Structure 1
Amino acid sequence: MITLQRILFLCLLSLSSSAQNYHYYFGNIHSHSSYSDGNKDKASSHAATPADDYRFAKRSQHLDFLGISEHNHSQAGMQRANFSRGLADADAQNEDGRFVAMYGMEFGVISNGGHVVIYGMDKLIGWEQNNYDIFSAKSDYKSLFRILADHSGAFATLAHPAQTDYNHLITTDYDPVADRAVCGVAVSSGPAFSVKTDYSDRPPMSYLSYYKRLLSLGYMVGPTMDHDNHNTTFGRISHNRTVVLARSLSRDSIMAAYRAGRFYASEDWDTEVDFKINGLTMGGYVSGQEVLKISLKVHDPDGDDRTKSIKLLYGKPGSGVIPKVMKTSKDSDVLEWQQSLQPGDAFYYYAEIVQADGDRIYTAPIWAKYN
């Protein structure tokens, strides 16, 4: 089900990633300022603009990057001129090497098809008269995905997905254009309207089954965790983070990591996961190799956050069958496994890690095909 174009793209990325030493960066790319419907507490927080919010986020713990993804329509407060102002605020507050500020949009309306978080576009996508730069109808996700797939710098993740969202994406045939446009899906999100800033308001894992279903259909996506902040709580609602593997703490490098699928979803705010197959890290594509050497190592700087279990899961892309557990390691920070493939075999592999305190971590997959 995976397109040749997508395979070639991943193979090129995999060749480059095998020689790279990546760093771990922790952040969130789903949040809002008063330019749409965020900063609802601005009367007390005195934060309203994206610039205010980036300054707040820089003081949050274990937060290397923040993306503000403004709603793209006036019903939620967005005006076309403010999108340009938000991009300028992100540029002004971005500090490569210290903190990455990103600005994007959240396309769509929940009651008409769902929300898509988008970055890498310097023009507002929308449907309202005089309130967009690029037109895409409100509920036409095929059009939206085509726009994103044709824009080389763009990437998108699916926010808090419902079963019927995105023109019934998970109950219709695999769409190669959507696969090129979308790199991730939230496995947990929010609580969107939380006012807590003590890192204690942990959301449920509501969308894990959606992620597994996309993988089974052949989509090459990874898992994210987002806060969807609507108050001035950036980075402080919970310990949940999306963790990216990037060459440097810079906007270009963080965005490249998302596009390449080098990220994972973590309920712990500083756990580092090294997951590789034949030397390629998550998001990679192993092609033409009969024997797969799978290794996973967990490192948590907090001495009391030990690993309770690691599960290696696998599935066949395009089969429609939900992934299954291949190997389990208990009370160890390491899992190693070797698998031999038969000609024509194609699988994806990812890990579920559970810590002793109950925190869960889900990696993006690594894909492999022996041909």
Structure 2
Amino acid sequence: MIPTLSLVLAAAGVFNPWCSAASAATLEHNEFDATLLAPYHGDVRDARTFTLSFEYPGLQAGRKARRPVTWRLELVTPSGRRVAQWQGRLALGGTPRDVAVRWSGILAGRRPTPGIYRVRLHAASGSETADQAWDIAVGSVPTPALPAFSPLPTGRARMMAMPAPGALPYTVYYGNLHSQTRDSDGGGPVDNCHGAQDPQTAPYGPDAAYPYARRHGLDFLMVSEHNHMYDGSDGTNPDADPAQAKALYRAGLKTARDYSDANPGFLALYGMEWGVIGNGGHLNIFDSDELLGWEKNGKGELLADTPTAKSDYAALYALMRQRGLTGQFNHPALTGQFTVNGTPLAYTPDGDAVMALCEVVNSSAFSVSENEGETRRSNFELACNKLLEAGYHVAFSSNQDNHCANWGASYSNRSAVLIPNGVPLTRASFLEAVRARRVFATMDKDAQVVLTANGHLMGERFDNTGALRLQVAYASATGRQAATVAIIEGVPGRNGDVSQLSDKADVTTAPAPGAHFYYAKVTQDDGKILWSAPVWVTQQP
């Protein structure tokens, strides 16, 4: 019998004065959001408190503005059996709401069998849904054995200044590939930032973002402005000047180039976050010197360099491929996003050629933390796995989507790229690494993970005959230990579900003939997770 706790809550509807001042800016972010904080370890024996956070940016106070929310929280055993459930409902108004759910650490009157359990949240507000899942440790879980690994040198020498003998010939650089400034709806001062800003009204632009990120230890920062806000609005500004919109984009590119040139060792990137959330989906384009868009002013003049039809992802992928551009799926949802011919997360050959990364974790886009203390974060591994199963060759990234002036400082998560030793970190070397998928995602800026398959580095695609040996290497500069290792396998183009191949860091398998992908997932003893890039293997008969 599954114990059920039903909680019924009502939102207080406290007025947020920012909402009226920035109502236009919140249109792009006017969507239901739910996050789950599930402590990896219990506080007393295995007892712990799960925190559910709900938000709907753009809602204002008042009964008519409230949105009903229903939620269900489940505890699942390592074998996949649901053993506990909590559920409830609330009315969400103009301020975020938290719900605390306490688990005693007891199941059916006794201590549960030790292992790695999963906590799953499903929440809905109208037709909008959110799903989150995190693993937790219950009882004493054996520490996995790991292969010997010489940590790779890093851009700021957190681990090693020089490569060790026999180490892989790469240097790791850590950064944030998703942020906004005043060029669109970001750049709000942290002492008065409650969400997205009215476009081009905040005090801080790219010229402030890059030095801030560099001071806070990042090796690179991508400023990714909403492509449809260069007219100074979240809708369409009929009086907008196309020349001014295009000049602003070019100015951002120049700011990034100038800052990188003046600060060797730090890479300033500037580009666009293309698309809308409603009936769309956001993706970053890292390397376009053209502003792509669909907005037109009252005279019918395009407010961009190059026309792209709104929410036409097949056409966008084709244009990106023609231009040789590189993209990242931002905070992908399982439904209603990146739709082609009615299918969400749909595969196209053009999309596969240009989309290199998928955000697996984002910290809160509206965090004001400057000490990496943000607890709200979203997990998109389910959607990234769907993209991999659809046939996309994407590696994982982990970013912050900063809208306040705390670029890279809200949490300890980072995207990491592997650059050949002796090659400086530049736009060209960064793009080469991303296109090769020499990337890993981490919730700990001081850790690294590398997956190899028969000596092939993560990100590679290769044919294989006979046995396949998969090895997971992990290192921490702060003394953290790996608590669990999982090697995940799937089949590109199957459009099915991934599965766990092994909980060992060194495993040999005999794949069935055909295409496969594998990636590693390491959970540290503090609950922070690292994801390697996949390897793609075509097993010969």
Equivalent residue runs for 1:1-371 within 5 Å: 21-41=169-189, 48-61=204-217, 63-74=218-229, 75-76=233-234, 79-95=245-261, 97-129=264-296, 130-152=302-324, 154-162=325-333, 163-167=335-339, 171=344, 174-247=347-420, 248=423, 249-303=425-479, 305-329=480-504, 335-342=505-512, 344-371=513-540
- Residue equivalent to 1:11: none
* SS of 2:323 mapped into structure 1: coil
Q: Which has the larger radius of gyration?
A: 2
1:327-349 Cα shifts (integer Å, max 9, x gaps): 113xxxxx21222345x332111
Tell me the CA shift for residue 43 of structure 1: 9.1
Tell me the CA shift for residue 217 of structure 1: 1.6
1:285-304 Cα shifts (integer Å, max 9, x gaps): 1214323222111011111x
1:156-189 Cα shifts (integer Å, max 9, x gaps): 1111122211125864763111111211111122
Asked if the contact 2:338/2:344 (under 8 Å) is kept, the reply is no
Provide the TM-score with structure 2 as the length reference. 0.60
75-84 vs 191-200, which deviates more?
Answer: 75-84
Structure 2: 5+ residue runs without aligned partners?
Answer: 1-166, 194-201, 236-243, 297-301
Provide the TM-score with structure 1 as the length reference. 0.87
* SS of 1:120 mapped into structure 2: coil
* SS of 2:252 mapped into structure 1: helix
- Give distance in 1, aligned partners of 2:397 and 2:412: 13
1:331-368 Cα shifts (integer Å, max 9, x gaps): xxxx21222345x3321110110000000111110011
- Residue equivalent to 2:52: none
Structure 1: 5+ residue runs without aligned partners?
Answer: 1-18, 330-334
- Give distance in 1, aligned partners of 2:376 and 2:462: 34
Question: Which letter maps to 1:70?
Answer: E
Asked if the contact 1:217/1:320 (under 8 Å) is kept, the reply is yes
Asked if the contact 1:202/1:237 (under 8 Å) is kept, the reply is no
- Give distance in 1, aligned partners of 2:390 and 2:269: 31
- Give distance in 2, aligned partners of 1:42 and 1:309: 36
95-104 vs 226-235, which deviates more?
Answer: 95-104
- Give distance in 2, aligned partners of 1:185 and 1:173: 14
Tell me the CA shift for residue 53 of structure 1: 1.0
- From the superposition, tell whether residues 345 and 112 of structure 1 become closer, same or farther in structure 2 (CA, over 3 Å): closer
Question: Which letter maps to 2:537?
Answer: A
Tell me the CA shift for residue 22 of structure 1: 1.5
Tell me the CA shift for residue 20 of structure 1: 7.0
- Give distance in 1, aligned partners of 2:222 and 2:356: 16
* SS of 1:294 mapped into structure 2: strand
- From the superposition, tell whether residues 203 and 118 of structure 1 become closer, same or farther in structure 2 (CA, over 3 Å): farther
- Residue equivalent to 2:20: none
- From the superposition, tell whether residues 59 and 137 of structure 1 become closer, same or farther in structure 2 (CA, over 3 Å): same
Give the aligned CA root-mean-square deviation in angstroms: 2.2
- Give distance in 2, aligned partners of 1:25 and 1:190: 19
Asked if the contact 1:241/1:265 (under 8 Å) is kept, the reply is yes
- Give distance in 1, aligned partners of 2:361 and 2:375: 9
Tell me the CA shift for residue 52 of structure 1: 1.5
Structure with more helix by fraction: 1
Question: Which letter maps to 1:146?
Answer: A
* SS of 1:69 mapped into structure 2: strand
* SS of 1:212 mapped into structure 2: helix
- Give distance in 2, aligned partners of 1:172 and 1:212: 10
Asked if the contact 2:361/2:379 (under 8 Å) is kept, the reply is yes
* SS of 1:25 mapped into structure 2: strand
The percent of aligned pairs where both chains have the same amino acid is 31
Question: Which letter maps to 2:351?
Answer: A
1:200-238 Cα shifts (integer Å, max 9, x gaps): 114434311101111112111111111111111011000
Tell me the CA shift for residue 97 of structure 1: 4.4
* SS of 2:431 mapped into structure 1: helix
- Residue equivalent to 1:16: none
Tell me the CA shift for residue 321 of structure 1: 2.1
- The count of corresponding residues between Structure 1 and Structure 2 is 344
* SS of 1:90 mapped into structure 2: helix
Tell me the CA shift for residue 263 of structure 1: 0.9
Question: Which letter maps to 1:94?
Answer: S
- From the superposition, tell whether residues 42 and 338 of structure 1 become closer, same or farther in structure 2 (CA, over 3 Å): closer
Q: Which has the higher contact order (CA 8 A, sep 6+)?
A: 1
- Give distance in 1, aligned partners of 2:450 and 2:332: 28
* SS of 2:366 mapped into structure 1: coil
Asked if the contact 2:451/2:457 (under 8 Å) is kept, the reply is yes
Tell me the CA shift for residue 370 of structure 1: 2.4
- Residue equivalent to 2:85: none
